Chains A and B, each alone.
Chain A
Amino acid sequence: MLSRLVLVSGHTLKNSGSFGACLVQASRSFHQSSQSLAPVPPLPEKGGKVRHGIFPEELFSLLYPKTGVTGPYMLGTGLLLYMLSKEIYVINHETFAAASIGAVVIYGIKKFGPSVATFVDKINEDKVAKAQEVKDQAMASLAQGIQDEKKEQWRVEGRHMLFDAKRNNVAMLLETNYRERLHMVTNEVKKRLDYQVELQNLHRRMEQEHMVNWVEQSVIKSITPQQEKESIAKCIADLKVLAKATQARATV
């Protein structure tokens, strides 16, 4: 019993006064729970189940073991009749006003309920869809980045082929250049040699002409006028004979 007193007084002393504080420190346990408010527990998807719009399903399941299916309905009817018969609730004009507004409310809920629900659900779904789209786009762009990186790596592997081709190119260019220069050199040398050949030909031709001219000059100089007359007469006689011969041949 005294121990109970100690426990109780200890508890009250904990919350009070000057040396209550150090008692609190002595008995408090540190860092035993995570003490975090996140993640917030999720809300239930749908509200509580109701029957006939206002009576929660728990009432029916509460009464079911004792009174079966008709229990709550009997309870409702009994309550209503009790209140009417004992004149706890008096039927007056407000009852009809209540019936009227009740009809309006029920009609409104039945008619516009589903469309309002889908409209509100759509608002929420649009929010989620927008965020999902951002996430999908980010994922798609990252996957695309991976693809591009892989392609770049493949391209790097084929780099040696590129270098071989380039090397071939350069070699071909060098070869072509070398052949061109060789060709040019050959042409130049041939030109010079041709020049020399032409020069020699020219020399020979000039010597020949000069010699021919000299011979002609000496012959012409050596022809005396007497010889000239004789040769001309001989030529004329030959021509006459030839003419006669051709005439004879022609008539035959």
Chain B
Amino acid sequence: MMVSFFDQFASPSYLGIPLIAIAIALPWVLYPTPSSRWINNRLITAQEWFINRSTNQLMMPLSVQGHKWALLLTSLMIFLITINMLGLLPYTFTPTTQLSLNMGFAVPLWLATVIIGMRNQPTVALGHLLPEGTPIPLIPVLIIIETISLFIRPLALGVRLTANLTAGHLLIQLIATAVFVLLPMMPTVAILTAAVLFLLTLLEVAVAMIQAYVFVLLLSLYLQENT
């Protein structure tokens, strides 16, 4: 079974049956439903604590209207973190390496924040296009620039997540291949490279969690601007 470097990024299918649905639904299986007991076991208590804490942190800067997004943002963050972390295991497929999935999250949510802003407070939403204290001759140019930056946001959100994860996975593959190839020839260099691989894996774990958090944080920021 020869794995090429790009097999991990291909949408998985078995005998022609696409498995992408299972791949995306997998995180749901891993989180136990909180029971109606008063005192739960360690896993459920830890999960509850984490979710409560992160939702609290996310919702603090938002107005009360923005709190309607609590469920969506928290579940999105848990989903992204789980998929990213699971993708670090060998022979797994990471759905968030697919640009389609990430754009599928970024564009509708960003568009929702823009539409909310335009509907409820159009003046304020349009006012974000002009930073305070700009000299008068620069105003037209700046508005164009701000509009471009506004429309680049969903692109940035999606591509940031995709690029980070794809690059990380690819790096792990490459350095692991280097270790594999060097092992019979120059074992000491291979061991050094293995150390690099270990550090890289640590970095990738951090990146996996941070990227998910950043995605959700930026969305909450856009929401904060527009509610």
Residues of A within 8 A of B (CB): 40, 43, 47, 90-98, 100-101, 103-104, 116-117, 120-121, 123-124, 127-128
Q: Are B176 and A96 in contact (CB under 8 A)?
A: yes
Most buried by A among B40, B42, B45, B173: B42
Nearest A residue (CB) for B89: A101
A interface secondary structure, majority? helix
Q: Are A94 and B201 in contact (CB under 8 A)?
A: no
22 CB contacts below 8 A, A to B, read A43-B37, A43-B40, A43-B41, A92-B2, A92-B180, A93-B180, A95-B90, A95-B180, A96-B176, A97-B197, A98-B89, A98-B91, A100-B176, A100-B198, A100-B201, A101-B89, A120-B45, A121-B42, A124-B40, A124-B45, A127-B38, A128-B39
A107 to chain B, nearest CB (A): 9
Within 8 A of A (CB), among B171-196: 172-173, 176-177, 179-180, 194
Residues of B within 8 A of A90 (CB): 1-2
Q: Are A97 and B41 in contact (CB under 8 A)?
A: no
In the assembled complex, B202 has its CB within 8 A of some CB on chain A: yes
Residues of A within 8 A of B221 (CB): none
State in angstroms the CA–CA spacing of A103 and B176 once bound together: 14
Q: Give the number of residue pairs across the A-B interface with Cβ within 8 Å.
A: 71
In the assembled complex, B88 has its CB within 8 A of some CB on chain A: yes
Residues of A within 8 A of B197 (CB): 96-97, 100
Residues of A within 8 A of B38 (CB): 127
Residues of A within 8 A of B39 (CB): 124, 127-128
In the assembled complex, B3 has its CB within 8 A of some CB on chain A: yes
Residues of A within 8 A of B99 (CB): none
